[in-house]
Amino acid sequence: MMAFRAVIRQILSMGAKPWRFLIRSLQCACLLLFCALVQLIAFDAGAGGYELYIRAGIFNELAQLALLFAALVPVCLEDLSGSR
């Protein structure tokens, strides 16, 4: 529990540039997941529907990539700004 509090405290004390990157990455991931949901809602089992299903999967994978960047890049930016 104490380690979790330390991680939260470190996240909240980030600089402006890593914080902006984190927020924008989370917004991008939410937008991509929303696009995947819209593609799945529009999906039908007809001939052209399979492309929508594949596209929804691609949006889902891109959202995961955005979350990976949201976790890694702010940490790297904080390390670079702290070492100067």
What does R_g of the chain's alpha carbons equal in angstroms?
Answer: 18
**Residue 2 included in any domain:** no
Say how many domains are in the chain.
1
**Residue 13 included in any domain:** no
Closest CA to 14 of 26, 22, 4: 22
- pLDDT tens digits for range 26-77: 999 999 999 999 888 877 766 667 888 888 899 999 999 999 988 888 888 8
Q: What is the pLDDT of residue 28?
A: 93
Q: What is the pLDDT of residue 12?
A: 77
Q: Which residue has the higher pLDDT, 12 or 32?
A: 32
Q: What is the pLDDT of residue 30?
A: 94
**Residue 18 included in any domain:** no
User: Domain of 40?
Assistant: 29-75
